Homo-oligomer: A and B are copies of this chain.
Amino acid sequence: MKTSNLVSTMVLSAIILGVSSTTIAVDLDSEDPLPSWNEGSTKAAILNFVSNTTNQSHPDYVEPEERIATFDNDGTLWCEYPDYVQSLFMFDRVRDMAPEHPEWNSTEPFRSIISGERRASANFSINESLQIYTATSTNLTSDEYMELARDWLNTTRHPRFGLPYTRCVYKPMLELLSYLQTEGVKVYIVTGGDEDFVRTFSDEVYGIPPEQVIGSAFRLQFVENNSSVSIVKLPQILVVDDGQEKAKEIVQNIGQRPIFAYGNSDGDIPMLQFATSDGRHGLGLLNHHDDSVREYAYDEGSAIGRLDSGLEMAGEWGWHVVSMKNDWKEIF
Contacts and interface: CB of A to CB of B under 8 A. Distances in A.
Interface of A: 2-5, 7-12, 14-15, 21-22, 24-25, 28-29, 54, 65, 68, 142, 182-184, 186, 195-196, 199, 203, 209-211, 213, 217, 220-222, 224, 227-229, 231, 238, 244, 247-248, 251-256, 270, 273-274, 277-278, 316-317
20 contacts: A2-B29, A2-B184, A3-B28, A4-B29, A10-B10, A10-B11, A11-B11, A11-B21, A12-B21, A14-B14, A15-B21, A142-B255, A213-B255, A221-B248, A227-B277, A227-B316, A229-B278, A231-B248, A231-B274, A253-B253
Given A224-B273, A247-B222, A252 B217 contact: yes
Contact of A277 (B68, B195, B228): B228
Contact of A4 (B24, B142, B244): B24
Contacts of A278: 228-229
A286 B201 CA distance: 35
B10 A25 contact: no
A317 B277 CA distance: 50
A33 to B, nearest CB: 11
Contacts of A254: 210-211
B11 A255 contact: no
Contact of A244 (B5, B25, B222): B222
Contacts of A12: 21
**Oligomeric state, in copies:** 2
A200 to B, nearest CB: 10
Contact of A247 (B209, B217, B229): B229
A277 B229 contact: yes
Nearest to A239: B252
A239 to B, nearest CB: 9
B211 A68 contact: yes
Contact of A255 (B183, B196, B251): B196
Contacts of A253: 211, 253
B274 A220 contact: no
Contact of A3 (B182, B186, B196, B274): B182
A278 B211 CA distance: 19
A195 B255 contact: yes
Contacts of A196: 255
Contact of A25 (B8, B211, B222, B228): B8
Nearest to A55: B2
Nearest to A215: B255
Contacts of A22: 8
A54 B54 CA distance: 32
A148 to B, nearest CB: 15
Nearest to A225: B277
Nearest to A56: B1
B142 A251 contact: yes
Contacts of A252: 217, 220, 238
